């Protein structure tokens, strides 16, 4: 957590979740399940973005575990669908043909 993000939280511009409210998830390290791939899709979601700082280090996204835990807490159905699709593509003959 940066001091700028903490300032935004204290000013009421950003939110925090209680740790007991977070639905922890373990996401495989597949390219299609990377923060770099998925984060841009959620940048226009104001509720989702309220848990992330406005400014991130250049060329970097949020920490992987934090991103996926917030995503799983707010949009569990979406994350499960994306993970199932990625697993299907990698683990079946359909994915081998691609």
Q: Write the pLDDT tens digit of every residue in 58-87.
A: 878 899 999 999 999 999 999 999 999 988
- Using the predicted structure, report yes or no on whether residue 54 has a pLDDT greater than 50: yes
Residues 24-38 pLDDT 10s: 999 988 888 999 989
> Exposed (0-12), middle (13-18) or buried (19+): which is 29, by Cβ within 10 Å?
exposed
Per-residue model confidence (pLDDT) at position 7: 92
Domain ranges of the chain: 3-97
- Residues in CB range of 26: below 8 A, 6 or more apart: none
% of the chain surpassing 70 pLDDT: 94
Q: Identify the residue with better confidence: 55 or 64.
A: 64
Tell me the H-state helices in 1-98: 3-10, 35-42, 46-49, 64-74, 76-91, 93-97
> pLDDT value at position 94?
52
Q: Is 30 exposed, middle or buried (0-12, 13-18, 19+ CB in 10 A)?
A: middle
Asked if residues 73 and 17 have their Cβ atoms less than 8 Å apart, the reply is yes
Q: What is the mean pLDDT of the chain?
A: 88
Torsion of CA 77, 81, 82, 88, to 10 degrees: 160
Q: Is the dihedral of CA 67, 69, 75, 78 positive or negative?
A: positive
Quote the pTM value: 0.83
Q: What is the pLDDT of residue 95?
A: 47
């Amino acid at each position: 957590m940066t001091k700028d993000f903490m300032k935004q939280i204290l000013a009421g511009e950003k939110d925090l979740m209680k740790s007991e409210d977070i639905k922890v998830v373990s996401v495989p390290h597949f390219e299609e399940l990377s923060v770099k791939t998925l984060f841009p899709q959620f940048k226009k979601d104001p509720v989702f973005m309220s848990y992330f700082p406005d400014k991130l280090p250049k060329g970097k996204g949020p920490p992987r575990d934090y991103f996926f835990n917030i995503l799983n807490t707010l949009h569990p159905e979406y994350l499960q669908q994306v993970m199932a699709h990625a697993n299907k593509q990698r683990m079946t003959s359909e994915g081998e043909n691609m």
